[in-house]
Structure 1
Amino acid sequence: MAEDGNEVQGKEIQGKFDVNLNPLDVHMPASESLKPGRMTIDKTFHGPLSATSKGEMLSVMTAVPGSAGYVAMEIVSGTLDGKTGTFALQHFGVMNNGKDSLILKVVPDSGTDELAGLSGDMKIIREGGEHIYVFNYAL
């Protein structure tokens, strides 16, 4: 979404990615109804976005199955349609009784080198045990 609430008008690409999540110590208190989590994120993107990323995620699962929330930040380094650089992605995800809502945005002014000025939104699709990204970006 752009600042005005609309999606970024640009080029749309898609490909697959591999992801590894590893738990970290949690600073937040746990209870019977709230289970906080913290993890590292390591991804490898394939296709028009040929890159790796490292990040961290904070989450809270509730006592209601299928209800949870998470936020994450990751730094992506590699090539995007042949242009090399680094940029940051910010995640905001909520599950409400199994229905999920996920927003991934390029952090404004985070693009470096040939990716300076990058803006965009990313969607993540999970199907058949695979992770697919759909990246709508402008440069």
Structure 2
Amino acid sequence: MQATGEFEVNLQPLEAYAPGSDGVSLGRMSINKTFQGDLAAISIGEMLTAMTAVEGAAGYVAIEQVSGTLRGKRGTFVLQHFGIMNARESRLVLEVVPDSGTAELTNLAGRMTIHVEHGKHTYIFEYELP
């Protein structure tokens, strides 16, 4: 199945445990999102980042717990992020953490794709819900 829509995201810096060295900056941020569309939900989570001295080269990992409704089914689930960027390309993977779904979203599995164009964030969520 597929769910689509838009979302707003608010990232705020948090105190980092490890600041980085040798031209690498390590960071930590809070994540707050509001999803609209087939996924009507909010999420809260944390992100860890690594930015190198080369412009555009970075990586991040994040965990966010999503709470709301997916095509009318209510519950929560966790999304795990893995992102790598350089000057030529970027790769971003968002997957539902296995067995993280609750209530009507129990046994949810899937992957989310995020697109950002002109400051507007959209998602495509390919999922399975037995």
TM-score, structure 2 length as denominator?
Answer: 0.96
- The aligned counterpart of 1:135 is 125
Which residue does 2:84 correspond to in 1?
Answer: 94
Poorly superposed stretches of 4+, deviation over 3 Å: none
Q: Distance in 2 between matches of 1:31 and 1:90?
A: 26
Q: Of the candidates 95, 105, 110, which is equivalent to residue 100 of structure 2?
A: 110
Q: Which residue of 1 aligns with 2:67?
A: 77
Secondary structure of the corresponding residue to residue 104 of structure 2: helix
Secondary structure of the structure 2 residue equivalent to 1:33 = coil
Report the count of equivalent residues: 129
Residue 54 of structure 1 is aligned with which of 34, 44, 52? 44
Higher relative contact order (CA 8 A, sep 6+): 1
Aligned residue identity for 1:117: N
Structure 1 residue 29, shift from structure 2 partner: 3.2
Are the counterparts in 1 of residues 19 and 27 from structure 2 also a CA contact under 8 Å? no
Q: CA RMSD in A?
A: 0.9
Deviation at 1:32, TM superposition (A): 4.8
Is there any run of 5+ residues in structure 1 with no aligned partner, and where?
A: 1-10
Deviations 1:88-129 (A, max 9, x none): 000000002251100000000000000001000000000121
1:42 paired residue number: 32
Q: Is the 8 A contact 1:67 1:98 kept in 2?
A: no
Query: What is the percentage of aligned positions where both structures have the same residue?
Result: 57
What does 1:22-37 align with in structure 2 at a 5 Å threshold? 22-37=12-27
- Once residues 61 and 98 of structure 1 are traced to their aligned partners in structure 2, the CA distance between those partners, rounded to angstroms, is 15
Partners of 1:25 and 1:38 within 8 A in 2: yes
Aligned-pair CA distance for 1:74: 0.2
The TM-score, its normalising length taken from structure 1, stands at 0.90
